[in-house]
Structure 1
Amino acid sequence: MSELHRLPSVDRLLAHPAIASLIESHGRSLVTTEVRAMLAATREAVKGGAPLPGEDRLVEKVGAGVTAKATPKLRPVFNLTGTVLHTNLGRAPLPEEAVQALVAAARSPCALEYDLDSGGRGDRDDVVAELLRELTGAEAATVVNNNAAAVFLLLNTLAQRKRVVVSRGELVEIGGAFRIPDVMSRAGAKLVEVGTTNRTHLKDFAAAVEEAPTRTAMLMKVHTSNYAIQGFTHAVPESELAALAHRHGLPFVVDLGSGTLTDLAQWGLPHEPTPREAIAAGADLVTFSGDKLLGGPQAGLLVGSKELIAKIKRNPLKRALRVGKLTLAALEAVLRLYRDPDRLHLRLTALRQLTRPEADIRAAAVRLLPVLKTALAGLPVAVEIVALKSQIGSGSLPVDRLPSAGFAVRPQGRRSGVLNRIEEGLRGLARPAIGRIEDGALLLDLRCLQPQEEGEFAAALAGLERNP
């Protein structure tokens, strides 16, 4: 207890040159709060028998605390996981055109709901509606904050207290235990399951409609983008479901989930259904995401019948689910890129990463191997370039893998704990690097490391070398 009198005062620490510098950078209020918190914690530690730290050490603690509080929580990272559209890492990285549009919209007032031609009030959906109509063949379009919101809004608008017929094999659960049946229930719709998990026929849908035609709101198809059922299966073609729905005067709705606006097969990727294909098959409404295969910002897009879109937009919940100018600015810029399909794979960042040749990725690994070996020198590990398999991610094309390359860091002897230390060290870099530990190795997939980021990554690894 006697040592406590030697603990410096708040004013004395605030006058220290290093802390004065912190005040200049971060403001007196934050630094003063951190000084007081550090002194309180130190006082309790000394009472518990810990030695009293020197003043320089106390100043270091204040600096570390202020730096931690001043560091943004939403930080850029190097995605070395092998999952391109990684939900936990923000899904699709935006192309430069979208970044520039977003910055311009953030910096200045915009004609968000202002019609420049008439001088009157406009509709914020008009920012992207024309592009969406052009790219999908739909009559109308609207935008909300994500695809789950899009599905919820259309169900709440068109199927409240009515039946929605869906194949049992399409009752998907997406991330965070968010399930289609739960969305329907919250939207006020009654789910009617038909068929079996692996096989559903047109007669199953027909029987469900005929059972209660006046209480049925729609037929719905949910694209199972986050899993695949193989083997003895059968699904009803969209054109047949549309024809059945229309014979009974019902809308046919398709939820694509992770939607794309182009045929990915032209770049050697598996084909994924597009909104244009669904509209051409007779769908009255199609919903899909903006931040997955589309390669844009988080958004839920609804396209289809002018009459149905108008009803959806009149729902009071539309205002609660609408997007702001930053999302619309980025989305418009991304949609414009789709007007130039010949260069889309070069300009759309997510598509460029998905189509990146394995040889290019391996060449990057060769360039960076000496840097990584230097950073890990002295640790009981072996580092080598290995062939890897990337995945698309975010519930998109779940069974398909992309040939890739990167590093495998393996412990020497029985020192498996060293991998956790290295993985933690990579997460602690100025720009964290996120890999994965699998089959006794730390794997760093370089597919998503863009060529212009290699220098920054190499510099970041130098920080790992100083703090192994």
Structure 2
Amino acid sequence: MDGLRALPGVDRLLSAAAGRALAERHGRQAATGALRAALDDARDAVRGGAAAPDADAICALAAARLDADRLPAQRPVLNLTGTVLHTNLGRALLADAAIAAAAEAMRAPVALEYDLSSGRRGERDASVARLICELTGAEAATIVNNNAAAVLLALNTVADGGEGIVSRGELVEIGGAFRIPDIMARAGVRLVEVGTTNRTHLRDYRDAIRPETALVMKVHPSNYRIDGFTAAVPGDELAALAHGAGVPMLHDLGSGTLVDMTRWGLPAEPTVAQAVAEGADLVTFSGDKLLGGPQAGFIVGRAELIERIDRNPLKRALRLDKIRLAALDATLRLYRDPDRLADRLPTLRLLTRTRDDIAAQAARLVAPVAAMLPDYRVAVIDCASQIGSGALPVETLPSAALALTGAGGDAPDRLAARLRALPLPVIGRIRDGALVLDLRCLADDGDLLGALTRL
């Protein structure tokens, strides 16, 4: 075909000004591969009846391919979903102090496992462990890479080969098919279920204790809620029963918090300090949910048990690197000044934004957003934000949003796809025939307007 013969070769493309610019920007090897791929696309188009593109057009196609490949996989996005701690969008945003500490740890050697006072080998968790003990009242602490790892490590250390007693109403499953029964089996612990789905009493635990019992476990239902005719054993009563039987009690808080959330008018959630004070021998919880730090899992409790956990070979496989430890250290230090915590910790700042503040932002944005999207109707609506990541699952926060509607039943999906394709993707949620952009997590009006200018 004449059209195929008219297509330039790779060498000619590389010698053209546009091809040389590609090689200069991306490297000759990458530019060559992109030009070959663009030529393959051009050949397919010509065979389909299209006119043969010239060298500049082919180089432009290759440049677009290379530019797309340069975008990082973990790109920043605007989280306008209404879920503050969105698991798929990375959960907690780090405080400025934590970001600075992580950057320092990346650019220079740090005293990770080095004791500066003695000049000898130190413990990598030591600084963070001291801080978390100070904030929770626990005797000792250790840190791993997430709460699932914390639960696995604690179970394997204190109950491997024995039985663990858990209420049927607390055999939860969280994201990624993480199930308490499965993790107990992986830890080498035989599950003993007691009670029923909605009601478990102290006598149910008492009747299940026998010589093979190695652990009594309480799981805080942070990602679901059963209402109605229910009963659960308080942590202090369960701890007293376990201690009387000579076995440890593990309390998995999941999305743990270090402060009383009601101080800022937020729904109540049990704190780690409360679980420790109730007598739990071990308490496990996350670092990147309500705590507002990087991904991590904490185990706090009795010093003797923490020492055993630290000696478990699994601990090394699950440990944190210097970057996250530095960010955790900086995050925990913010909790020493609770009066300014909401201003300094992004998670708490977003959760405590008032509905009036968000509604005022929506009122400012409705006209300019409508001007940028002439094919869509843009309206301010009331909505409810979620905390997310399994924290307080049935509690919502009053918020405000922009609702975008257009012609055709697929209009919200089409617009959502366009917004996801922006250089700074905008992520909302589709509800009642509209694309809803909840503004709770929008720090600056200009972030949204700047993103939309690229439409």
Q: Deviations over 1:164-208 (max 9, x none)?
A: 000000000000221111111111111111000110000000011
State the SS of the aligned residue for 1:397.
strand
Aligned residues: 455
Which residue number corresponds to residue 106 of structure 2?
106
2:394 counterpart (383, 393, 399): 399
1:401 counterpart letter in structure 2: T
Paired residues of 1:112 and 1:127 also in contact (CA < 8 A): no
Are 2:193 and 1:197 aligned? Answer: no
Which residue number corresponds to residue 445 of structure 2?
454
Structure 1 residues 48-197: aligned runs within 5 Å = 48-197=48-197
The more displaced of 35-44 and 288-297 is 35-44
What is the CA-CA distance between 1:47 and the residue it aligns to?
A: 3.9
> In percent, how many aligned pairs have the same letter?
59
What is the CA-CA distance between 1:456 and the residue it aligns to?
A: 2.7
What is the CA-CA distance between 1:44 and the residue it aligns to?
A: 4.0
Which residue number corresponds to residue 384 of structure 1?
379
Are 2:442 and 1:463 aligned? Answer: no
Are 2:322 and 1:331 aligned? Answer: no
Tell me the distance in 2 between the aligned counterparts of 1:108 and 1:17: 42
2:224 counterpart letter in structure 1: Y
State the SS of the aligned residue for 2:327.
helix
What is the CA-CA distance between 1:48 and the residue it aligns to?
A: 5.0
State the SS of the aligned residue for 2:120.
coil
Which residue number corresponds to residue 31 of structure 2?
31
Q: Deviations over 1:287-341 (max 9, x none)?
A: 0000000000000011001010111111111111001011101111110010001
What is the CA-CA distance between 1:284 and the residue it aligns to?
A: 0.4
Structure 1: 5+ residue stretches without partners: none
State the SS of the aligned residue for 2:122.
coil
1:265 counterpart (262, 266, 270): 262
What is the CA-CA distance between 1:363 and the residue it aligns to?
A: 1.4
1:273 counterpart letter in structure 2: P
Tell me the distance in 1 between the aligned counterparts of 2:77 and 2:424: 5
State the SS of the aligned residue for 1:176.
helix
Tell me the distance in 2 between the aligned counterparts of 1:169 and 1:178: 16
Are 2:271 and 1:274 aligned? Answer: yes
State the SS of the aligned residue for 2:315.
helix
Tell me the distance in 2 between the aligned counterparts of 1:97 and 1:421: 39
Are 2:399 and 1:441 aligned? Answer: no
Structure 2: 5+ residue stretches without partners: none
What is the CA-CA distance between 1:50 and the residue it aligns to?
A: 4.4
The more displaced of 16-25 and 60-69 is 16-25
1:99 counterpart letter in structure 2: I
State the SS of the aligned residue for 1:152.
helix
Tell me the distance in 2 between the aligned counterparts of 1:251 and 1:63: 62
Runs of 4+ aligned residues of structure 1 deviating over 6 Å after TM superposition are: none
Paired residues of 2:18 and 2:56 also in contact (CA < 8 A): no
The more displaced of 57-66 and 439-448 is 57-66
Tell me the distance in 2 between the aligned counterparts of 1:324 and 1:458: 37
CA-atom RMSD in angstroms? 1.2
What is the CA-CA distance between 1:53 and the residue it aligns to?
A: 2.4
